[in-house]
């Protein structure tokens, strides 16, 4: 394609420089986690090719050492290509091959650019962009879920469980359809939130499982041309050991390379996690509204002034940041879905770069926002007296009188309570229900657990 000027101090070569010039799109380089995973694949490939007798020992060790520097972030400035590039990320594979080859050449005492270690013949041996890139994306994503997201979710689950115990004595009004319902313990609500996060952790593990079947070894179109028959099995074993994720060779290379189904499924699980976090954050924000004109059942930690004009105002900013992250995750989910649907054409998906970037961004943002939500909001929540005050005045306590006065009479009491502002207890007492019966039926604690003595069903 003719001559190409490359910076004198660059480890990359002409192919990388062409890609830099071809794609001046966003100015965003590839994420660190992906570059690290790409280095892992290249290192494991060199070690595997040595084991298979395809590479000389000195050359294989030099490639592995150079790839380790890629993994460690020492060569990040040598990966300048934009996210929005060739759909298979061939440019990035070539970039990695050039950088690792030149650095390995230096390690062997050769001159940069001499191709003592060849980017294609040696660094890319038994590989293709078409199997290396999706492998690196899946490996990076699985490691990010395991190392970042799941620990953040575990911290949130523990924080919610602690709050459930702390808030267990607090009785408050339950709500369905955003309207008053029968009583519930504040601790029971938080037990529900902890259960959502527990399920989210299970779904995060499911996302790892979706990502763990790697397409490496399929080379160009899934057939494995120019690859040793044992290459895929051996390299995936090395990657499992290096990453701590139980990755393995895909049982069907044609499917694994031709689609992004694994990413679509994994991000779908992440979307479910995000939806659970949205519900928890939104509920906590609503219970903290006020402090005077809202529900005011929770006191959220005061993290910063809430207004440049209203003194003393404090806003639920930590929850707001969480919800914005979730909005971004939903957008990324649409991007991954469209990439999987529209990019999978015959033997290759050609929207890998944006799909890989999107899933990694979702994982990283959600992990950070979840940790922040736990630390700066949930762990500092306090219950107020507002919940117990409101539940005593709730018209829905009339439900508990059904066994004594019947549904119709209880309904009249509820409507009168809403109209007059008098409590159900006061109105029932005025109608002649004796104090002993009232105390038995309007025992709020009993109304928060199964039993036939009190209220019947309804929504």
Average pLDDT for 283-302: 94
CA nearest to 296, candidates 306, 286, 305: 286
pLDDT at 148 over 50: yes
pLDDT (mean) for 117-121: 98
32 has a pLDDT exceeding 90: yes
**Overall average pLDDT of the 375-402 stretch:** 91
- Counted residue by residue, the chain has a size of 459
Contact 417, 431 (CB under 8 A): no
Residue 204 in this model has a pLDDT that exceeds 50:
yes
* Phi, psi of 188, rounded to the nearest 5 degrees: -70, -40
Q: What is the pLDDT of residue 456?
A: 46
CB atoms within 10 A of CB 453: 11
Compute CA distances 168 → 55, 163, 190, 309, 317, whole Å.
65, 8, 9, 38, 26
Res 403: pLDDT: 81
- pLDDT per residue as tens digits for the range 160-196: 999 999 999 999 999 999 999 889 999 999 999 999 9
pLDDT for position 308: 77
Mean pLDDT, rounded, for 3-23: 94
**What pLDDT is recorded for position 314?**
85
3-state secondary structure of 298: strand
Q: Which of 307, 339, 342, 344 is catalytic?
A: 307
Which helix (H) or strand (E) covers residue 438, if one does?
A: helix 435-441
Phi/psi at 431 (5° precision): -90, 5
Q: Which of 447, 356, 362 is nearest to 93 (CA)?
A: 356
The answer, yes or no, to whether residue 414 has pLDDT greater than 50, is: yes
Pairing mode, strands 213-214 and 248-249: parallel
* CA 349/CA 254 separation, integer angstroms: 11
pLDDT digits (tens, 9 = 90+) for 272-281: 999 999 999 9
Banded pLDDT at 453 (limits 50, 70, 90): low
230-265: per-residue pLDDT in tens?
999 999 999 999 999 999 999 999 999 999 999 999
3-state secondary structure of 290: coil
Please report the pLDDT score of residue 446 as a whole number: 87
In Å, what is the CA distance from 49 to each residue of 40, 54, 96, 230, 312?
14, 5, 17, 10, 66
Q: Which two tokens stand for residue 323?
A: 């919800």
Answer whether 96's CB lies under 8 Å from 70's CB. yes
Output the pLDDT for position 452: 64
> Taking 50 as the threshold, does the pLDDT of residue 340 lie above it?
yes
Separation CA 119–CA 242 (nearest Å): 23
Cα–Cα separations (whole angstroms), residue 147 to 244, 372, 377, 428, 447 = 10, 16, 22, 58, 42
SS3 (DSSP) at 371: helix
3-state helix, strand, coil in the chain (%, to 5): 60, 5, 30
Q: 305 pLDDT band (50/70/90 cuts)? A: confident
Sign of the Cα pseudo-torsion (151, 153, 154, 159, in order): positive
Which DSSP string corresponds to 157-218?
HHHHHHHHHHTTT-EEEEEETTEEEEEEEHHHHHHHHHHHHHHHHHHHHHHHHHHTEE-TT-
> What is the average per-residue pLDDT within 300-315?
85
H-helix segments, 344-401: 352-376, 386-393
**Least-confidence region, from 103-112, 325-334, 398-407:** 398-407
Distance between CA atoms of residues 103 and 120, nearest Å: 14
The answer, yes or no, to whether residue 397 has pLDDT greater than 60, is yes
Element (H, E) at 261: helix 261-287
User: pTM of whole model > 0.95?
Assistant: no
Q: Above 70 in pLDDT, residue 457? A: no
**Which tens digits make up the pLDDT trace of 53-93?**
999 999 999 999 999 999 999 999 999 999 999 999 999 99
Distance (Å) of CA 245 to CA 140, 171, 211, 259 = 10, 44, 10, 22
Give CA–CA dist 55/74, Å, rounded.
25
Exposure on the CB side of residue 341, measured as CA atoms within 13 A: 6
Contact 299, 382 (CB under 8 A): yes
Mean pLDDT of the chain: 94
The pLDDT value recorded for residue 163 is 98
Domains of the chain and CATH, by start: 14-125 (1.10.275.10), 141-169+188-220+260-383 (1.20.200.10), 394-448 (1.10.40.30)
User: Active-site residue 307, yes or no?
Assistant: yes
Average the pLDDT over 386-391 and give the result. Answer: 91
Q: Return the DSSP state at 145.
A: I
CA distances from 180 to 232, 347, 394 (A): 60, 56, 7
CA 397 to chain CA centroid, nearest Å: 41
Catalytic residue status for 228: no
Asked whether the predicted pLDDT for residue 149 surpasses 70, the reply is yes
């Amino acid at each position: 394609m003719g001559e190409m000027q490359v910076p004198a101090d660059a480890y990359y070569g002409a192919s990388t420089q062409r890609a830099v010039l071809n794609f001046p799109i966003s100015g965003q380089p590839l994420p660190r986690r992906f570059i690290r995973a790409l280095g892992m694949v290249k290192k494991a490939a060199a070690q595997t090719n040595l084991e298979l007798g395809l590479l000389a020992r000195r050359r294989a060790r030099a490639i592995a050492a150079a790839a380790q520097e890629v993994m460690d972030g020492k060569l990040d400035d040598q990966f300048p290509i934009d996210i929005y590039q060739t759909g298979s990320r061939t440019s990035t594979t070539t970039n990695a091959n050039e950088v690792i080859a030149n650095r390995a050449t230096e390690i062997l005492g050769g001159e940069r650019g001499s191709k003592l270690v060849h980017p294609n013949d040696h660094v890319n041996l038994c590989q293709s962009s078409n199997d290396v890139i999706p492998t690196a994306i899946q490996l990076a994503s699985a490691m990010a879920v395991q190392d970042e997201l799941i620990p953040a979710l575990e911290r949130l689950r523990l924080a919610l469980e602690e709050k459930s115990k702390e808030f267990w004595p607090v009785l408050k009004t339950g709500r369905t359809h955003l309207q008053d319902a029968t009583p519930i313990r504040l601790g029971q609500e938080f037990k529900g939130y902890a259960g959502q996060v527990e399920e989210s952790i299970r779904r995060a593990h499911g996302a790892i499982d979706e990502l763990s079947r790697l397409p490496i070894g399929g080379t160009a179109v899934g057939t494995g041309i120019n690859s040793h028959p044992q290459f895929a099995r051996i390299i995936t074993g090395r990657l499992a050991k290096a990453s701590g994720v139980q990755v393995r060779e895909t049982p069907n290379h044609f499917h694994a390379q031709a689609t992004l189904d694994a990413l679509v499924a994994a991000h779908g699980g992440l979307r479910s996690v995000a939806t659970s976090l949205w519900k928890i954050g939104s509920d906590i924000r609503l219970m903290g509204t006020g402090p005077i004109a809202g529900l005011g059942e929770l006191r959220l930690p005061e993290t910063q002034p809430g207004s440049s004009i209203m003194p003393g105002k404090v806003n639920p900013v930590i929850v707001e940041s969480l919800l914005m992250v979730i909005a971004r995750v939903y957008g990324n989910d649409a991007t991954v879905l469209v990439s999987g649907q529209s990019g999978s054409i015959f033997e290759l998906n050609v929207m890998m770069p944006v799909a890989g970037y999107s899933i990694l961004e979702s994982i990283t943002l959600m992990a950070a926002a979840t940790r922040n939500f736990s630390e700066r909001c949930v762990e500092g929540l306090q219950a107020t007296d507002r919940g117990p005050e409101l539940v005593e005045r709730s018209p829905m306590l009339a439900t508990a009188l059904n066994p004594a006065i019947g549904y119709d009479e209880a309904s009249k009491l509820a409507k009168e309570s809403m109209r007059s502002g008098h409590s159900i207890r006061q109105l029932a007492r005025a109608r002649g229900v004796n104090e002993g019966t009232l105390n038995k039926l309007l025992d709020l604690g009993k109304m928060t657990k199964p039993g036939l003595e009190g209220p019947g069903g309804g929504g």
